[in-house]
Amino acid sequence: MRRLKFFARLGFLRELLSNNIESVKDIWFLLKALGIKVLPNTVMVVSYDNYYTETRNKSEIQRRALRLKTMEALEEAVKPFGGLVVQMEENLFAILLETESDGESQVKETLRMGNQIRDKVENYAKVNVSLGIGRRYKDFHNLHLSYKEALTALNYKFFLGKSQVIHIENVLPYSDDMGLFSMAVESELVVKVFSCDKEGAYSVIEDLIKSIGATGFLNPLSIKSRILEIFNFVIKVAFEAGGEKEALAALCGRYIEGILKSDTLEEVREQVKEFLGGIVEEVYKGRKRMNLAVFERAIRFIQQNFRKPLTLEEVADHVHVSTYYFSHGFKDFTGMNFTQYVTKLRVDEAKKLLLSTNLSIKEVGKMVGYSDANYFSRVFKNEVGMPPSSFKLSKKFHVERNFSEG
């Protein structure tokens, strides 16, 4: 019976704070029936700081144990003030208090109480918590207004950081001036991601977060929404740059949730940096995959066409990349530049023809892509260390001598 009455009290307090009990008469009846002798007029709300990132790798049993420990700490901390504690959400507790003063005195009184409660909870539960405090309402039926104000005050820890005690009287209205999130920031970030410049991407975000912190109290929801828009654009660029669709989708899903559940600007910064780091890694992997396919196609094309005039521009166009990109990437892929690679193929083929046929030096040169016999001879000598005529004679002599000795 006592346990049933306990849960009935919790349900009543939740409904009261959610403004789901309209009749004053019903409120007074339930107060009496449930044995609630305190008549609260002020609400505080308490939440863990950075709850999502701190608990995302913990099991549900571990999270439940943390909530129970925090509940115990809160109940112990409000005893000197005769308060009531009710858990509203997984990471949100409400404290219902009866205070005596109004105006500035009420602000000072509740801030003092809030600091004491926060310190006791943090010492006992070994977690960081922040508190938001609403105004005092004499009419018990209006307690939900104090609860809403406490929530609004608590949201300002987004800018102020962890372990805050914030009264609604001490906060300023949010600004919706989102000029900091200009297209220039988005474009700069995309360039860094596309070029796999992780540190450069981090620098763009650091500058943006510093600017947000220095500008004033922008609406946190608007900040998160704009960041998620940037995420969406970056994801598209990463996919076009070769990132794997499934991996990008997994990253996006994880960090969208992380951003939405972040309750401080610092936590948002860390979430964004982790996201960008993951995106850059995926783009880099995608580039490697794309490079492998691109340059494998280029090598096949060169091997099939080196016997005729062939230019770097022609090969780059065949594999659909820019000349600049192909020129730099080809050397990374093969260890030699385009001209060196084609020259090696032609000289190797010329050596085979010189040893296996009776073709003239001029004819061999033409067959491997050199219309000028003199130029062919110079290129061959530079590669082999002797002109093609000497190479043919020396190899022929070597073969004949081996044959006669056998």
Three-state SS letters, 302-371: HHHHCCCCCCHHHHHHHCCCCHHHHHHHHHHHHCCCHHHHHHHHHHHHHHHHHHHCCCCHHHHHHHCCCC
Query: Would you say 352 and 313 are in contact if contact means Cβ atoms under 8 Å apart?
Result: no
- Residue 5's nearest CA partner among 40, 41, 31 is 31
Hey, what are 133's tokens? 């405090």
Secondary structure of residue 175 in the 3-state scheme = strand
Q: Which residue has the tokens 């602000």?
A: 107
Residue 95 forms beta bridges with which residues? 44, 85
Per-residue pLDDT of the chain (406 residues; tens, 9 = 90+): 566 766 777 788 888 888 887 777 777 777 777 777 778 899 999 999 988 888 888 999 999 999 999 999 999 999 999 899 999 999 999 999 998 888 889 899 999 999 999 999 999 988 899 999 999 998 878 899 999 999 999 999 999 999 999 999 999 888 766 666 667 777 788 788 877 888 988 998 888 888 887 777 888 888 888 888 888 888 887 887 777 888 888 888 888 888 998 989 999 999 999 999 999 888 888 777 777 778 888 999 999 999 988 999 999 999 888 887 788 778 877 888 999 999 999 999 999 998 888 899 999 999 999 999 999 999 999 999 999 988 888 765 444 444 344 4
The string of pLDDT tens digits covering residues 307-337 is: 988 999 999 999 888 887 788 778 877 888 9
Q: Are strands 92-97 and 42-48 parallel, antiparallel or unpaired?
A: antiparallel
pTM of the model as a whole: 0.67
Are 291 and 329 within 8 A, CB to CB?
Answer: yes
Residue closest to 388 by CA, chosen among 339, 343, 353: 353
369 phi-psi bin (left φ>0, alpha ψ -120 to 50, beta other): left
How much is the CA Rg of the chain, to the nearest whole Å? 37
pLDDT at 2: 63
Q: What is the DSSP letter of 170?
A: G
Please, which residues have CB within 8 angstroms of residue 396's CB and are 6 or more apart in sequence? 355
pLDDT in the model for residue 114:
96
Right CATH for 336-406 from 1.20.1250.20, 3.90.800.10, 1.10.8.100, 1.10.10.60:
1.10.10.60
Which two structure tokens, joined as six digits, stand for 263? 């309750």
In 3-state terms, what secondary structure has residue 92?
strand
The top-level CATH class assigned to 2-170 is alpha beta
**What are the extents of the domains in the chain?**
2-170, 183-286, 336-406
* Cβ neighbours of residue 14 closer than 8 Å, sequence gap 6 or more: 86, 88
* Identical topology for domains 2-170 and 336-406: no
Helices (H), ranges, 126-197? 143-155, 157-160, 183-194
Nearest to 63 by CA among 154, 9, 125: 125
Rounded Cα distance, 188 and 178, in Å: 17
Mean pLDDT of the chain: 86
DSSP string computed for 272-296: HHHHHHHHHHHHHHHHHHHHHHHHH
